[in-house]
Amino acid sequence: MTGFRSLACAALLMLAPAAVLAETVTLQAESATPGTDQVTSMRFVDVVLKPGSRQALADFTRNRVGKRIQLRSNGVLLSSATLQSPLEGDSFRIVAGEHGFAGKSAEEIAKGIMASDGLTVDDDGTASSDWGTRPSKRPATQAPGT
DSSP three-state, residue 111: helix
pLDDT of residue 59: 94
> Where are the alpha helices (H) located in the chain, listed in sequence order?
2-15, 51-62, 106-115
Q: How confident is the model at residue 25 (pLDDT cuts 50, 70, 90)?
A: very high
User: What's the CA gap between 104 and 106, in Å, rounded?
Assistant: 7
pLDDT of residue 117: 72
Q: How confident is the model at residue 126 (pLDDT cuts 50, 70, 90)?
A: low
pLDDT of residue 131: 35
Q: How confident is the model at residue 21 (pLDDT cuts 50, 70, 90)?
A: low
66 vs 131: which has the higher pLDDT: 66
